[in-house]
Structures are given as C-alpha cells and as structure tokens.
C-alpha cells in the first residue's frame, strides 16, 4: 500500500556530474578497481533525489530536524555524519578529516561512494582519500544469517584457534573482490600447514639445541656464500646454489612487495608472498641438510653457521612483516631470535647485511630462552560444526 508524506529532500541529482568528475580525476579512490567501475556504472543513470527525513510522529528516536520539530533526520544522513562528529566536527575535525579512509562492505557501497561524497560536497568539506571495499564471508556456501543458525561467533573461534590464528585465517583467505566461503576444516588446514608446520617448524629446526648447541645467532661466511653482483653471474666459489641466490633476491624484495599489497588492501597477497618465502626457506634448509655437516671440520662448521644465519635472517624479516596480522606469534618469534623491541620496525628490514659486506648487529647474540612451540597444532573438535548443524536442524523442524 502506497503512502504519502512530506519529507526534506537532498538534491542528489544535482551532484551526479560532480561525482562523475571526482571519480574521473581520482580513479584509485575506490579500491579494489572492480567496485570503482560499479559506482561509475551506477552514475551513468539519472539519480533520484534523496529523502533525508521522516515524520516525527512515526520516527521518534532520531535527531529532530533543526527548526522543524515535526521531522526526524533519517538514518542515511545522520549515520554518515557520525564520521565527522567522531572526528571532532565542527571545531577539531580538520586534524583527522582530510586523511579519512573508509573500509566498508560491498552492501553499503552506494551509501559511502555516492551519498556520502555528495553530502560532503554540499557542505564544502573534504572528500574521503580512499574507500576500501570488501566482500562477504559465506558459511558452507550459504549467506550467514541468524535465521539459518550458521553465524560464526568470533569469540568462540578465538577460544578454539586463538585471536592471532583466526585473524591470520581471515586475512589469508579473505579476498576483497569476491565472497569467500568459511568452514572450520579449512581453518585447521591453513593454520596447521602455515603457522605450525611451515613457520613454526622452520624456527624449531634452526634454533634447536642439536643443530645450534651454542644457542646463538650464527655467523655468516662470505667465503661460503659469496655475493653475486647480477642475476646471470655464475659464482664458482662457495657452496651456495642458484636456488639459494633466488631465495636471497626474493626475501630482499619481500618488504616492498608486502608494503604494496598492504597499500592496495590485498592483505591476502602479502601473506601469500610471505608464505611462499617461508616455504622456500624451508627448502633451502633441507637442501643443505646442516645436520649432516661435521662440526669438527672448519669448512663444514663455517657452512653450517652460514645456513643457520641465512635461515635466522629470513625468519627475522618474516617476523617483522607479520606483526600487524599475528602480533603475539610475531613477538614470540622475534623474542626467540633475540630481536629487541626497538629493532622490530621497518627500519630494521636490512636483510642479510653480512652478505652485502656490512655489519650485522645480531651476529653472535644469545638466542631468547622461550623454546616452546610457536603455534600449537590444532585438532578437530567438531564443536563449532555440531552447533551449526544443530541450529540448522532446529530451524528446519520449525518450518
């Protein structure tokens, strides 16, 4: 049944040309690119004006329209304006507001990429610097909903997987461009493979008392691993292989690759790049089998220490880069490597300084004393899945 009432209208139609011009001149403002094109496509059609109030007698809980007690400001306007008020508008917002970055779900893209910029234009205020858009998580192929009883409780998953583990999974598997499917078996598979086996196993292997009885940050030998000055140079001396040099090049580039992926809101790509390097470092360690080397032989001992040094340096880089995603795990890793708190920011990503004939401040340091597992292996408990299935059966029985 149609109803009619008097409301205040925002003349959105007048801002359509300005919005198109803004997007034309700022093609990176909405990211990923897929969503930029969606917004541009929406703006190809005429935009109807927007109702921004409701009659007070049927919407009592909202903010009254200034000067008109019969009308209440509608949520599509007052909710968005909260971005300004929390930043201190109108007196103190200028400290934060020109640098505003929004992270929004794809279901509210139109509100943030069309309505909100138009409101700001009308008020003569700065537009957002960036609008990052993400897609949704489904559960076993279905949309998450309370009625289906398949909502994933993050606090419950923190208890099962730890906050670091659950965050790592969501950021590792979450792709902004498309919806991603969640199920608990996938969480176990990813965390056990990448955090327990690959990263944690590598740390245990190169810091264990059998392979590193002195428990120190081992020394690097330029004689065993001479510097290669360009990609096609064949190094005849030393024991390093072509694959070893490729690993060095990849890890040297890794911080810039990770930064680029983070800047582009593709955290899963950053974690993918780190995970690849971790796997290649494991391959490096196994390829040279330091446990087979004779410590009593000076040449073997020098090469063994160099293998350990390269592995420790790789782990140090991975630990620093992983801090935003798994801060507790990264802290444990870096502490085991005796990396002090002030040595964990971007300035300390000077990978393998001795390879470049520079001083390495970590060489010879006594390793940290925490020899525990970096990330405990997870076992399937079925608790979460049983709860989801039970709720789904209850819902089915009520139909």
In order, the DSSP letters of 109-162 are HHIIIIIHHHHHHHHT-PPPSEEEEE--EEETTEE--TTTT----HHHHHHHH-
Q: What pLDDT, on a 0 to 100 scale, did the predictor assign at position 395? A: 47
Mind listing the pLDDT tens digit for each residue in 3-57?
888 999 999 999 999 999 999 999 999 999 999 999 999 999 999 999 999 999 9
When pLDDT is cut at 50, 70 and 90, the band that residue 383 belongs to is very low
- Return d(Cα 128, Cα 109) in angstroms, integer: 13
* Cα atoms in the 13 Å half-sphere on the side-chain side of 387: 12
Cβ pair 180, 138 in contact under 8 A? yes
Residue 139 has pLDDT above 60, yes or no: yes
State mean pLDDT over 133-157. 91
- CA-based torsion, 206, 211, 217, 218: positive or negative: negative
Mind listing the pLDDT tens digit for each residue in 209-236?
999 999 999 999 999 999 986 555 555 5
When pLDDT is cut at 50, 70 and 90, the band that residue 100 belongs to is confident
- CA-based torsion, 275, 277, 281, 282: positive or negative: positive
Q: What pLDDT, on a 0 to 100 scale, did the predictor assign at position 233? A: 53
Q: What pLDDT, on a 0 to 100 scale, did the predictor assign at position 390? A: 47
- Return d(Cα 218, Cα 305) in angstroms, integer: 5
Q: pTM higher than 0.85 for the full model?
A: yes
Q: What pLDDT, on a 0 to 100 scale, did the predictor assign at position 237? A: 64
Q: What pLDDT, on a 0 to 100 scale, did the predictor assign at position 295? A: 93
Domains of the chain, first to last: 9-134 (2.170.220.10), 138-189 (no CATH), 197-366 (1.10.730.10)
State mean pLDDT over 47-73. 92
CA angle 174, 180, 186 (to 5 degrees): 85
- Return d(Cα 393, Cα 112) in angstroms, integer: 38
């Amino acid at each position: 049944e149609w109803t009619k009432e008097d409301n205040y209208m925002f003349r959105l139609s007048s801002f359509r040309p300005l919005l198109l011009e803004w997007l034309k001149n700022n093609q990176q403002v909405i990211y990923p690119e897929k969503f930029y094109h969606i917004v541009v496509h929406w703006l190809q059609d005429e935009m109807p004006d927007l109702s921004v109030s409701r009659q007070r007698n049927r919407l009592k809980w909202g903010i009254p329209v200034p000067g008109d007690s019969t009308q209440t400001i509608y949520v599509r306007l007052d909710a968005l304006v909260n971005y300004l008020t929390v930043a201190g508008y109108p007196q103190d917002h200028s400290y934060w507001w020109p640098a505003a970055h929004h992270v929004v779900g794809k279901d509210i893209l139109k509100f943030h990429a069309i309505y909100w910029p138009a409101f700001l234009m009308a008020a003569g205020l700065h537009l957002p610097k960036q609008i990052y858009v993400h897609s949704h998580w489904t559960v076993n192929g279905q949309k998450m909903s309370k009625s289906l009883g398949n909502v994933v409780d993050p606090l419950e998953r923190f208890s099962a997987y730890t906050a670091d583990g659950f965050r790592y999974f969501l950021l590792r598997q979450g792709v902004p461009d498309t919806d991603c499917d969640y199920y608990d078996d996938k969480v176990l598979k990813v965390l056990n493979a990448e955090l327990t086996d690959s990263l944690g196993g590598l740390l245990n292997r190169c810091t264990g008392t059998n392979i590193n009885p002195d428990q120190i940050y081992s020394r690097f030998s330029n004689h065993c691993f001479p510097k290669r000055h360009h990609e096609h140079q064949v190094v005849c001396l030393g024991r390093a292989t072509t694959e070893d040099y490729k690993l060095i090049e990849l890890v040297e580039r890794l911080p810039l690759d990770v930064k680029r992926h983070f800047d582009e809101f593709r955290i899963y790509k950053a974690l993918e790049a780190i995970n690849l390097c971790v796997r290649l470092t494991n391959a490096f360690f196994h390829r040279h089998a330091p446990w087979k080397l004779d410590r009593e032989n000076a040449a073997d001992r020098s090469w063994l220490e160099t293998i350990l040094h390269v592995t420790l340096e790789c782990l140090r880089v991975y630990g620093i880069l992983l801090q935003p995603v798994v801060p507790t795990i990264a802290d444990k890793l870096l502490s085991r490597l005796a990396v002090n708190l002030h040595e964990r920011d971007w300035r300390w990503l000077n990978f393998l300084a001795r390879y470049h004939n520079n001083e390495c401040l970590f060489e010879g340091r006594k390793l940290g004393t925490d020899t525990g597992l970096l990330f405990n292996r997870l076992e399937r408990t079925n608790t979460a899945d049983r709860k989801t299935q039970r709720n789904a059966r209850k819902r089915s029985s009520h139909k």
